A and B are shown apart, each in its own frame.
Chain A
Amino acid sequence: MNAAADNPLVQFKNVSVSLSGNPILSNLDLTVERGETLVLLGESGCGKTTTLKLVNRLLQPTLGEVMVEGKSTTAWDPIALRRHIGYVIQEGGLFPHFTIARNVGLVPSLSGWEEARIDDRVRELLNLVGLDPDRFAERYPRQLSGGQRQRVGVARALAADPPLMLLDEPFGALDPLTRASLQREFADLSRRLGKTAILVTHDVREALALADRVGLMHKGRLLLLESPDGFRASNNPQARAYLETLE
């Protein structure tokens, strides 16, 4: 085991973010363990997406430090950092002018892989997310359904085999049936691949179904960090409010 592996994969050390004077995130301390799926739960504007973007340095902390593999994100080369982290957003954020194959093979091709190796990897990943490569590889995103696009988004994030995945409301735009089946497949996949994942959602059902730990965020603060069972048992009024929607 090398030294980097001894460090937590992601660690927030007393991190605050303000944008033009408005606090977005206050005094966040959080450690993400290797192999776990951490779900950040909260309504819009609570700072959960900001937290996610701090990890791959789409944003930088105003105060404090975000460490990835023991190194502050500001000390990382941002390009290397981002190619080291998979990123999935709502609707997949696919490039409309690229074929599915080119979308999935993007990070490998940016990293200079050989073409044959990229092709193999793309087929492998499309199979992994349940899309037949022969049918889908040469299509364009607009020719796919929302659920299919989301699968491609996940495949793209996994392409360079990053140890960490960031997912920002990945299933938010899908119809309930597709959402449920994709959630199941994702849980299965992340367990099988042993990836560490940070997932952001406002859907408590999704949080409890996928999380190893749930972090409840409200107005820029982390109120609660618990296992799903701990969350269900919590007396925190915000957590109770969420749980009531389940009944």
Chain B
Amino acid sequence: MSFWQFLQSNWPELVTLIREHLVLVFISIVVAVAIGVPTGILLTRYRAWRGPVLGIANVMQTIPSLALFGFLIPVPFIGGIGTRTALVALVLYSLLPIIRNTVTGILGVEPSVREAAVAMGMTDSQVLRQVELPLAAGVIVTGVRVATVIAVGVTTIAAAVGAGGLGVYIFRGLRQYDNNLLLAGAVSAALLALAADFLLGLIERRFSYERARKRTVSLKVVFAVFALLVALGVAFWQFSKSPATANRVVVGSKDFTESALLAEILAQMLEARGVTVERRFELGGNLPHEAMVSGTLDLYPEYTGTSYTAILRHTPITDPRAVYEQVKREYADNFKVEVSSPLGFENTFAILVRGNDARQLNLKTISDAAPQTPKWRAGFGQDFMSRADGYPGFSKAYNLNFAEVREMDLSLTYIALSSRQVDLIAGNSTEGRIAQLDLVQLADDRRYFPPYEAVYLIRQDTLARTPQLREAVARLANAISTEEMRQLNYEIDGNKRDPKEVVRTWLAQKQF
């Protein structure tokens, strides 16, 4: 699909994402100005506070954005997932340039001018409002301009906590190895940053008094642009509010295609049953779990093995029944969360090699491949490298000794393998591209990997107040085979079809 065709068919979604992006940036900058400028003014009056406050704001900016989002999730009132958390993080990022430029701007006012103002009999607030702020305005606007450009960039990360925006395309594009998505997300974000920079640059130029101005922008134009931005912001904000209903279910998903697909399946089934659904898809790491336990999410798809090792922190075991039963019991006791019946397929780690290698060397099992590993390079996702049932135990169980182990983004490992950058990877057994790229899965002959049966995790109170939910989940028990899941994944990752459309077709076939 060409980029142009992609834009044509995804235009409405792209516009929605841009709108979400602008709303996030606009609101956070307004809030940051409302906090930052008064703070900066106070710092010019109370010298002793200057160091500590600027220091804290400085530290805020050095925290990597994904980490800052992570810190905020468990915090009550301002944390959680979604727009609010993203706004808090964006405001924290935007504060430093605004506070610093307010201080610099005011302290940079010519001392003789300030002294003249005092000597004319101006009160402190008159000096501030009539002399210091107008003369510092250019520098302050520069700060706002810097903060806005930063915010446009950081907002792309906000997609990781389910706040939407253009980051949704960027994350999805990275995951699905889809350049159209990446381009659409990144180019739009870059254009937004340039546009914001240009508009604020116009306002900034209005405030330079010392240099002779050749072409001045009239104050009217500045106000008009500002009013337009406010109007757009308000309109978008109103428009993006979802109606609050008592019978509303927030469906979440992890940040990979299959999780989003499973979430979409249940979401569409609920909508068909008259339930209002709010989608919070593509949440990274442990976010969906944290969010569900804190109540901002009602349900999300998960795998029993992941819950067993990553959440409940048990040592991996291989009996599927035992894992399922224990997960079900502990989730009910610890989190008041119900574990649905298994959906019928497993998404376990698939140890993959190139089809050619498998045929030439006659490799069927992981044990067969072990002697080759000193000549091989391996490529593993960050997740596999760090988890309890991941690389350390795996290499020990099979006595593997790779020439080199590369840690990279999971979705890139498939391409890396087929293009001979690496020789062995740990993919997902339901990955749609396995057949397409002629990759072969080696059997786990020592039964190292724990079972990863797909289930839905659902808050008990949500189940109690939504009878349609119990009925829909019951119908999905044992309803999806591994081959079916692989096919569904391939429709999206391989054929680049719209997930909603894929799910709709599948549901119609299944007559759910």
Query: Which residue numbers of A lie inside 8 Å of B, CB to CB?
Result: 56, 58, 79-84, 87, 89-91, 93-97, 106-107, 110-111, 140, 142-143, 156, 166
Contact = CB atoms under 8 A, between A and B. Distances in A.
Contact of B209 (A82, A87, A96, A166): A96
Interface in B115-143: 115-123, 126, 130-131, 134-135
A203 B41 CA distance: 40
A95 B131 contact: yes
A143 B207 CA distance: 16
A107 B120 contact: yes
B425 to A, nearest CB: 64
A52 to B, nearest CB: 10
Interface residues on B, range: 20 to 34
A91 B112 contact: yes
Nearest to A166: B119
A82 B120 contact: yes
Contacts of B244: none
B140 to A, nearest CB: 14
Interface in B188-232: 209-212
Contacts of B59: none
A106 B120 CA distance: 8
Given A83-B121, A142-B209, A93 B135 contact: no
Nearest to A107: B120
Contacts of B135: 95-97
A97 B118 CA distance: 16
3 closest A-B pairs by CB: A93-B116, A83-B121, A82-B121
Contacts of B120: 82-83, 87, 106-107, 110, 156
Contacts of A97: 134-135, 209
Contacts of B117: 95
A142 B113 contact: no
Given A87-B116, A166-B119, 20 more contacts: A56-B119, A58-B118, A79-B122, A79-B123, A80-B121, A82-B119, A83-B121, A89-B116, A89-B119, A90-B112, A94-B116, A95-B135, A96-B210, A97-B134, A97-B209, A106-B120, A107-B121, A140-B209, A142-B211, A142-B212
A89 B112 contact: yes
Most chain B Cβ neighbours within 10 Å, of A79, A83, A90, A94: A79
A79 B124 CA distance: 10
A38 B130 CA distance: 33
A156 B209 CA distance: 20
B119 A58 contact: yes
Contacts of A96: 113, 135, 209-210
A143 B131 CA distance: 19
Contacts of A143: 212
Contacts of B115: 58, 89, 93
A95 B116 contact: yes
A93 B211 CA distance: 17
